[in-house]
Chains A and B, each alone.
Chain A
Amino acid sequence: MIALALSLDLLGEPRLLGELASGRVPSLWATLSLGYLGIGAAMAWHLGRRGHGLGTATSALACWPLLLGLVGRPPPQTTELDLGHARPIQIGPNHSRIEGCMATLQEGLQEDFDGAAGTRLIDAAQLAKLAHSLHRADHRIARVDRLLHETAAQGSAHVELDPQLQAALATLRGARDHAHDELEAVLSGLLSLRVQLGLFALAGESEPVRARLLELEARVAALAELSSVELAQVAS
């Protein structure tokens, strides 16, 4: 409608706009409204058949363009959202380093592989997932650090610590150091991947970059599993 009005104004035909407004707009409006509601009704019917709730189907009737992403998708497992578990993770001690590494890698992909080709090689979602895993590992280290610091503060306040607890703390410290070393290794790997990107781009090869990134992803996943096992041992 805006484009139409601007085009007619640009052509300097205000009378034509007036004629259109007085003569044809009502039927045009009616047709557009019926078409919009018809598509909404079809989408509401589709979502209803797929098992989506009444609220979602009714929303589709009025605002179907917003719910196009639900077409063909099954309904969610639950009708409630637990906001407590969706809380964003807190910032860890290596937050800025991780962000820096990921930004450098992203820039490298765009510079060396000419933007679109870089996106095809490693997509943004893959990099974001890797960054998120690294932040989670970093956050776990921060939590362990905080726990150790609090325990040390209690120890310095002349509170006797149970020998069993001391042994658990030593194990926890070891697990923390191991996780930190692994995180350092992955960050170094990411930086070396940035260098390799340039070399691979010159050679016109992309497969080794993808393989290297998959290797780093596996290492980060292993880091999460390892941390869980080691922390479980501490807890027991």
Chain B
Amino acid sequence: MSAGSPTSSLALVGVLLRDPALLLGTASADAHDEANVSDRLAVLAPRLLGITVAGAAIFGLVIGSYRGDLQYAYAAIKTPLLLLIPILIGLPAIRAFHDACEVSISWSRLALASMVAIARTAALAAACGPILWLYLSMHPDYHRAVLAMAGCLCLVGLPGLMTLLASLPGGGRHRPLASFASVAVLGVLLAQSGWLLRPFVVRPRAEISFLRDVEANVFSSLASSGSSARGHYRGWDARGAGLLGREESPR
């Protein structure tokens, strides 16, 4: 950390995509100095959050274009939340997993690594925007549009996830276990956040709403979709059908 020429947000996005380790200071002179990491966090946090919100909002605008009208704004508001909520909720669990596996990591460093990871994901999502927009402009059916959105999110989420895992300190006996648990928690949180914040893609003639009513959970929905795909169609409503969507015996 030193005084230098001002770094523009555009240059920061370049560094974020090219070499995110530079922002974390993994190999700088005082990389393990808590004060140094906190200083980095204080300087970078507003910009990284700004990049996250801007990048994810662009991606949201593209998703909203499938329906148009108010859905542009709704999707643009909700997509940044989709990226931020899993990190905000899952951070204590990730730290606890690493502590349990004897990998010592400070809260500031974990927060900085998380912010760099989601900012990178958001920047990549914004970069994917034009391709998705082109595809959505060809009016694919609803299910294909949802799959395209999910595919894009997976594609841009992987580098972000890798950034997060690579920026956590090495050592510890069961580091792979901690990494696996962290990925699992983030995955579940992302899935459930997406479920709570839906709809992102709205059918062209459907009514637009900011949020749908809270009903069951993402696993029940997946089970419903699965049974519909097998020909047992029982409507669009998800049902609370036991843990991970298992069916209950009739009483």
Contacts and interface: CB of A to CB of B under 8 A. Distances in A.
Interface of A: 1-2, 5-6, 8-10, 12-14, 17-18, 21, 25, 52-53, 55-56, 58-59, 62-63, 65-70, 73, 75-89, 106, 110, 115-116, 119, 123-125, 128-129, 132, 135-136
A119 B169 CA distance: 14
B3 A119 contact: no
Given A70-B108, A80-B43, A63 B88 contact: yes
A1 B4 contact: no
Nearest to B34: A69
A164 B108 CA distance: 51
A86 B21 CA distance: 9
Contact of A66 (B32, B114, B219): B114
Interface of B: 1-7, 11, 15, 21-23, 25-29, 31-32, 35, 37-47, 49, 84, 87-88, 91-92, 102-104, 106-108, 111, 114-115, 169, 171, 173, 188-189, 192, 196, 213-217, 219-220, 239-243, 248
B38 A12 contact: no
A108 B108 CA distance: 29
Secondary structure of the A contact surface, majority rule: helix
A53 B47 CA distance: 12
B108 A83 contact: no
Given A78-B3, A86-B25, A106-B171, A70 B42 contact: yes
B216 A17 contact: yes
A76 B43 contact: yes
A88 B2 contact: no
A82 B219 CA distance: 46
16 contacts: A5-B217, A14-B240, A63-B45, A63-B84, A65-B111, A68-B111, A69-B38, A69-B41, A69-B107, A85-B4, A85-B28, A86-B23, A86-B25, A110-B173, A128-B169, A132-B31
Contacts of B31: 128, 132
B25 A1 contact: no
A83 B248 CA distance: 58
Contacts of B6: 80
